[in-house]
């Protein structure tokens, strides 16, 4: 378990799900995962919010996880989204992801229904007892309308396979509180790109990032600077990345992200209803930011490739 936790430090990618003519484009998914791994991503996280998890059929969910696992081929962990406000559905998704070969699960608080803390305890414990792989809790109250209390997280962390938390609250003081209560072996990951450096410096381990899909090398470099407490570098990367963080959330995730990746030629920008294409005004703002940051990413990617060409050899 400790080796898995160590591998998830740094910058992980919350994967989008590419479509072609309304169907999952598995070839594009495979190529995109290889690109992220080649550029130093720590872990791949399919079928979450960014992956439009609630809009996938159970069969699509299983196949997306399975293809991601096959492409990763052990080079990086695959943490599969397995969230629902229906506990039975969440268990089904969790078991399916485990069968597909995922190394861990990302399980969000049950949205819309606003369960009590006791209800969420039972929800997560039921998922935990149904599978044999690690679980990372996901607290994102801005989307779910329910939040995990610190005490609930501590109680859930007593279960042997609940090993971490993705925290998208933006509450930086919470990081130190949780670290004191949970110890060094509980994985604390940011789910808020804009505050990920502050999260790291407060005692966090990494970030499950939207932005890392577009500029994986720069996001990885930010986390390496955090590892070494290089304050000037951290500040430089934060200032560089801040406009992209903002642009990728100018409309609901993953709408701007898919437009950015389409602009890069990595996948189509198709979405599933009720998500709709990026508005023209938002598209212009996003394009302005991309024109500024993409040359920096490509320059750093060439440098990274030269220095790490022996890392993550492509599976035969």
Catalytic center residues: 138, 166
Long-range contacts, 223-226 (Cβ 8 Å, 24+): 223/9, 223/10, 223/11, 223/42, 224/10, 226/197, 226/200, 226/201
Is residue 190 within 8 A of residue 160, CB to CB? The reply is: no
Residue 284 burial (CB count, 10 A): 10
C-alpha closest to that of 54 among 213, 267, 270, 273: 273
Q: How far apart are CA 217 and CA 214, in angstroms?
A: 9
Query: Which residues does residue 298 pair with via DSSP β-bridges, in sequence order?
Result: none
Q: Are 218 and 237 in contact (CB under 8 A)?
A: yes
Helix (H, G, I), strand (E, B) or coil at 209: strand
CB 41 within 8 A of CB 218: no
Phi, psi of 50 (to 5 degrees): -65, -30
Residue 20: phi, psi to the nearest 5? Answer: -135, 120
Tokens of 21: 């003519």
Taking the C-alpha atoms of residue 246 and residue 2, their distance in angstroms, rounded to an integer, is 34
Residues 6+ apart with CB under 8 A from 180: none
- d(Cα 303, Cα 18) in Å, to the nearest integer? 28
Rounded Cα distance between 210 and 258, Å, is 10
- Which residues, at least 6 apart from 179, have a Cβ–Cβ distance to it below 8 Å? 186, 188, 203
């Amino acid at each position: 378990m400790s080796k898995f936790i160590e591998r998830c430090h740094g910058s992980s990618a919350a994967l989008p799900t590419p479509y072609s003519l309304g169907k999952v484009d598995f070839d594009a998914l495979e190529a995109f995962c290889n690109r992220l791994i080649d550029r130093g991503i720590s872990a791949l996280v399919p079928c979450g919010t960014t992956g439009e998890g609630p809009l996938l059929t159970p069969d699509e969910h299983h196949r997306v996880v399975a293809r991601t696992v096959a492409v990763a081929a052990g080079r990086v962990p695959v943490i599969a989204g397995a969230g629902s406000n229906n506990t039975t559905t969440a268990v089904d998704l969790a078991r399916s992801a485990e069968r597909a070969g995922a190394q861990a699960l990302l399980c969000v608080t049950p949205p819309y229904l606003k369960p009590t803390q006791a209800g969420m305890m039972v929800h997560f414990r039921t998922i935990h007892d149904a599978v044999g792989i690690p679980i990372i809790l996901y607290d994102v109250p801005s989307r779910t309308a329910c939040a995990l209390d610190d005490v609930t997280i501590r109680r859930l962390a007593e279960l042997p396979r609940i090993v971490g938390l993705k925290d998208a609250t933006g509450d930086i003081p919470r990081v130190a509180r949780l670290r004191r209560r949970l110890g060094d072996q509980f994985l604390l990951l940011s789910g808020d790109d804009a505050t990920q450096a502050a999260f790291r410096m407060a005692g966090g381990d990494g970030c499950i990032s939207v932005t890392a899909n577009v500029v994986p090398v720069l996001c990885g470099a930010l986390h390496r600077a955090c590892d070494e407490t290089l304050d000037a570098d951290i500040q430089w990367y934060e200032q560089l990345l801040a406009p992209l963080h903002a642009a990728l959330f100018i409309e609901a995730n993953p709408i701007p992200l898919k437009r950015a990746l389409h602009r890069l030629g990595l996948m189509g920008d198709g979405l599933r209803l009720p998500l709709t294409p990026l508005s023209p005004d938002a598209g212009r703002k996003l394009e302005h930011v991309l024109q500024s940051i993409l040359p920096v990413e490509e320059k750093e990617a060439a440098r990274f490739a030269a220095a790490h060409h022996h890392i993550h050899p492509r599976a035969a």
